[in-house]
């Protein structure tokens, strides 16, 4: 029998009832279950309450803007992060939270909403189940003053889908909000103020430890990784007591431990910023609106050449009891496998910011870094002559770029690898060598990021990589990072055999379309700096 007038448009009633019963059973409970069929369960119970996410076009579960700490506003400005307040209703984790307060930068997405209430994280996961997948927590870069976990370059979908891992990105406080040292002018309650960004990162990792199992992740298989200031942050976490036990593996991309600040220098920056803001104490700083404090930060940055050294971690004796590189050499991260590396032409990226940089003399660059000038052996002329002897066709600018890359990125990363390899044989070193086709950027700073995240089509990527970047390199890079997250070892079928790093052979994987294992690449350049520890112990900056 058919419903009147609907013949040909509906099933016979008997078949329809059978189909309803079958579908209801699949949905988990006869006709009662049928009422909810077709709607994915995207709700997870956390320590603060239920969190509701969404399912994307790839079938991944995505949660955005989850608070991992109380908003650091009002009296909590310049204070260590506090646990988030619980909520009664289900938290709708469907939109990214505001980014941290940060200056305008034509290369950053600063048109996005900003707020001091920025301590949130985002999760991409293949399933909200008990699979216990490896977890990867990303710490963004941006010179301690810019960036966010919602940047399209850091979209975690490819990691979650290709690697069956749980990918987490976080925000942390930046600039004056995250790194303004008040230890000498405030009460004891502000002793940690110069390292709030690090404490935010540790708080996010605590949240991951306590909650990630509900998102299909293994809280005992967490890899923390970052680039630039994010990589330097990872280095600090390796030597920071408050972060001990919060992650089991670490990856550092283009950032080590050579530009941290001492209290005297950080105090000087605080005094300069207060002068810009027109205040003379902590109470005055607290009285400023978010916008006023940010404006003082921008005004200060406008007066300085090396803005990347104004803010960032402080070896304060509290959060960082000793220089992190020393702590690592003494075994603070002995149980943590490490993958670390740099790009061949790091400092060429800054030619986008500084006109004429590619024609600069290295002597001018070194004059801006007196801490390095005081630490090197030999003369600047000797150093330049050494590099020139191996590059007879190079211009003065090319020599400056090579030396600048080594003193700011490559050799400091080698120092960190040396320190960790003393206590942890599962330490690997890479050198990314694929060159961008844009201008003369070469293998510049940040060029590896779209390959690591396998997001070659993300907004702005072509501006750095040029057109038609090799997809096979993105697959290889991401598979290498995934292999490390899974096994604590980057070896995989897309690479030649990759021995761990030790100071004899110094095995280094050159990552390019055709990867190549090289022992001690550019070793003669490395030896020029043998007397320089790059540990931030002498940072007049």
Q: Which domains does the chain have, with CATH numbers?
A: 1-39 (no CATH), 51-227+262-311 (3.40.50.1820), 343-523 (3.40.50.1820)
Using CA atoms in the order 360, 362, 364, 368, what is the torsion angle rounded to 10 degrees?
A: 120
As a whole number of angstroms, the distance between CA 377 and CA 531 comes to 7
Torsion sign (Cα): 102, 179, 336, 344: positive
For residue 361, what pLDDT is reported? 78
Residue 392 has pLDDT above 50, yes or no: yes
Is 140 known to be catalytic?
Answer: no
For residue 33, what pLDDT is reported? 30
Cβ contacts of residue 536 below 8 Å, gap of 6+? 257, 258, 259, 260, 261, 262, 315, 323, 325
Residue 22 has pLDDT above 50, yes or no: no
As a whole number of angstroms, the distance between CA 18 and CA 12 comes to 10
> Could you read off the pLDDT of 35-62 as tens digits, one per residue?
233 347 999 999 999 999 999 999 999 9
Lowest mean pLDDT, pick from 36-50, 179-193, 387-401 = 36-50
> Could you read off the pLDDT of 335-362 as tens digits, one per residue?
999 999 999 999 999 998 888 888 887 7
Q: How many residues does the chain have?
A: 541
Residue 298 has pLDDT above 60, yes or no: yes
Q: Which of 228, 231, 351, 436 is catalytic?
A: 228
For residue 489, what pLDDT is reported? 98
> Could you read off the pLDDT of 92-110 as tens digits, one per residue?
999 999 999 999 765 544 5
Cβ contacts of residue 485 below 8 Å, gap of 6+? 134, 135, 136, 163, 165, 221, 223, 249
Is 540 known to be catalytic?
Answer: no
Burial class of residue 432 (count of CB atoms within 10 Å of its CB; 0-12, 13-18, 19+): buried
- Residue ranges of E strands in 41-104: 43-45, 50-52, 54-55, 61-67, 91-92
Contact 496, 517 (CB under 8 A): yes
Is 346 known to be catalytic?
Answer: yes
Contact 490, 498 (CB under 8 A): yes
Q: Which residue bears the tokens 């803010």?
A: 311
For residue 531, what pLDDT is reported? 83
As a whole number of angstroms, the distance between CA 123 and CA 443 comes to 30
Q: Which of 297, 346, 418, 448 is catalytic?
A: 346
> What band does 411 get if pLDDT is binned at 50, 70 and 90?
very high
Average pLDDT, the chain: 89
Element of type H or E holding 430: strand 427-432
């Amino acid at each position: 029998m058919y419903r009147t007038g609907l013949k040909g448009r509906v099933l016979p009633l008997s078949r329809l009832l059978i189909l309803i019963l079958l579908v209801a059973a699949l949905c988990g409970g006869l006709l009662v279950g049928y009422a909810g069929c077709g709607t994915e369960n995207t709700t997870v119970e956390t320590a603060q309450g239920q969190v509701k996410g969404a399912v994307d076009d790839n079938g991944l579960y995505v949660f955005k803007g989850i608070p991992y700490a109380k908003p650091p506003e009002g009296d909590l400005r310049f204070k260590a992060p506090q646990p988030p307040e619980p909520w009664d209703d289900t938290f709708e984790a469907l939109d990214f939270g505001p980014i941290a307060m940060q200056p305008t930068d034509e290369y950053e997405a600063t048109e996005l909403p900003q707020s001091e209430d920025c301590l949130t994280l985002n999760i991409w996961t293949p399933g909200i189940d008990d699979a216990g997948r490896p977890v990867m927590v990303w710490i963004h870069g941006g010179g301690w003053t810019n960036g966010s976990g919602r940047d399209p370059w850091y979209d975690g979908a490819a990691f979650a889908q290709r690697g069956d891992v749980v990918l987490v990105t976080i925000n942390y406080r930046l600039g004056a909000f995250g790194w303004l040292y008040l230890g000498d002018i405030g009460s004891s309650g502000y002793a940690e103020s110069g390292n709030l960004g690090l404490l935010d990162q540790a708080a996010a990792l605590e949240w991951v430890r306590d909650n990630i199992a509900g998102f299909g992740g293994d809280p005992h298989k967490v890899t923390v990784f970052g680039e630039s200031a994010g990589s330097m942050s990872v280095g600090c976490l390796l030597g920071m007591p408050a972060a001990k036990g919060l992650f089991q593996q670490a990856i550092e991309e283009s950032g080590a431990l050579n530009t941290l600040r001492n209290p005297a220098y950080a105090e000087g920056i605080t005094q300069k910023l207060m002068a810009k803001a027109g205040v003379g104490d902590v109470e005055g700083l607290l009285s400023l609106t978010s916008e006023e404090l940010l404006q003082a930060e921008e005004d200060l940055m406008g007066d300085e050449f090396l803005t990347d050294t104004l803010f960032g971690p402080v070896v304060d004796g509290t959060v960082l009891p000793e220089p992190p590189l020393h702590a690592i050499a003494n075994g603070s991260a002995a149980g943590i496998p490490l993958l670390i590396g740099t790009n061949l032409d790091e400092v060429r990226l800054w030619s986008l910011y500084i006109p004429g940089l590619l024609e600069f003399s290295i002597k001018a660059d070194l004059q801006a870094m007196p801490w390095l000038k005081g630490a090197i052996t030999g003369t600047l002329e000797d150093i330049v002559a050494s590099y020139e002897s191996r590059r007879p066709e190079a211009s003065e600018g090319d020599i400056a770029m090579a030396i600048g890359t080594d003193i700011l990125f490559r050799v400091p990363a080698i120092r960190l690898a040396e320190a960790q390899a003393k206590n942890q044989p599962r330490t690997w070193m890479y050198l990314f060598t694929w060159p961008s086709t844009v201008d003369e950027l070469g293998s510049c700073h940040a060029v590896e990021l779209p390959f690591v995240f396998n997001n070659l089509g993300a907004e702005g990527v072509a501006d750095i990589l040029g057109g038609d970047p090799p997809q096979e390199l993105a697959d290889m890079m991401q598979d290498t990072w995934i292999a490390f997250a899974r096994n604590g070892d980057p070896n995989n079928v897309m690479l030649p055999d990759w021995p761990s790093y030790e100071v004899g052979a110094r095995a280094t994987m050159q990552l390019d379309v055709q990867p190549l294992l090289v022992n001690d690449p550019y070793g003669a350049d490395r030896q020029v700096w043998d007397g320089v520890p790059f540990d931030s112990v002498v940072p007049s900056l």
